[in-house]
Structure 1
Amino acid sequence: MKALTLAAAFLILAAGGLSPADAARKKVQIPNRYDGNWSIEVITESGICDRAYRYGVRIERGQASYPGGDFSISGRVASNGAVRAAISNGSATANVVGRLGRQGTGAGTWSTDGAPGCSGRWNAERRG
């Protein structure tokens, strides 16, 4: 499977006119198998934060973003599905870890830095 992934990456780079060495120097980002739209359910298990939220998150070339605008996401989904992100709203930040699976679902945990001291879990489903 790894050889197939590397071969596919090489074909994508070659089609774009770049050798693998050129791509490495230019830090070209290859599409990630988890790219697309995801519905994320965030559940608070500890602390005084709201009980639950549901957000639409977009992943493009492994980078997560939220088009809603009332908070920001800085995060990454690795090629193996590992998720590491920070979600910020004003001075509050939640650290997010977990994993997306190949079946179009994912899960993990989150916790805030400092006040109000909340933590919980999240679930994800691929959309469209």
Structure 2
Amino acid sequence: MVGQSNMLSRAQKFTLAAVATTLLVGAAVAQAKQTYDGNWSVLITTDKGSCDRAYRYPVRIANGVVGYAGQASFQVSGRVQANGAISVRVSRGSQSANGTGRLNGTSGGGSWRGGECSGTWTAEKR
């Protein structure tokens, strides 16, 4: 009987630890979403290839999901992780580019590649 009682106690402790961890992770993700959510101005610079030298895009992040906030026919999709890591795809017609990098709350940067072109990007929260 003592062994079963002890096992139940361990199971209860494990369950409580799992619930506490889930709540802490959930709170961290919610905080990250609040940190990165909002309007961003993104400058994309071409370092290699025959693409235009630079583009500027208005981007909106809502609940960690990245989208285009402008009027042109661009599509922007992606996601920001709780640690600020971001991956994005920008497309227009049959052309597309993929970018990765990191946001720190009010700014960020990374690299991108699409077709024969590649370069860097910087972002600033508005």
Return the TM-score normalized by structure 1. 0.72
CA distance in 2, matches of 1:7, 1:76: 17
* Matched residue, 1:122: 121
In structure 2, the gaps of 5 or more residues are 1-20
Deviation of 1:123 (Å): 0.3
* Matched residue, 1:110: 112
**Runs of 4+ more than 3 Å apart:** none
* Matched residue, 1:21: none
Q: Matches of residues 1-128 of structure 1 in structure 2 within 5 Å?
A: 6=24, 9=27, 30=30, 32=33, 33-68=35-70, 69-102=72-105, 104-112=106-114, 114=115, 117-127=116-126
Q: Which has the larger radius of gyration?
A: 2
Return the TM-score normalized by structure 2. 0.73
Deviation of 1:30 (Å): 4.3
CA-to-aligned-CA distance 1:10-35 (integer Å, 9 cap, x gap): 9xxxxxxxxxxxxxxxxxx9470200
User: Which amino acid in the other structure matches residue 123 of structure 1?
Assistant: T
Q: Secondary structure at the match of 2:36?
A: coil
- Count residues with an aligned counterpart: 102
CA-to-aligned-CA distance 1:54-102 (integer Å, 9 cap, x gap): 1110000000111224111120011110011111111111011000013
Q: Cα 1:7–1:111, aligned 2, differ >3 Å: closer, same or farther?
A: closer
CA distance in 1, matches of 2:42, 2:24: 30
CA distance in 2, matches of 1:38, 1:72: 15
* Matched residue, 1:18: none
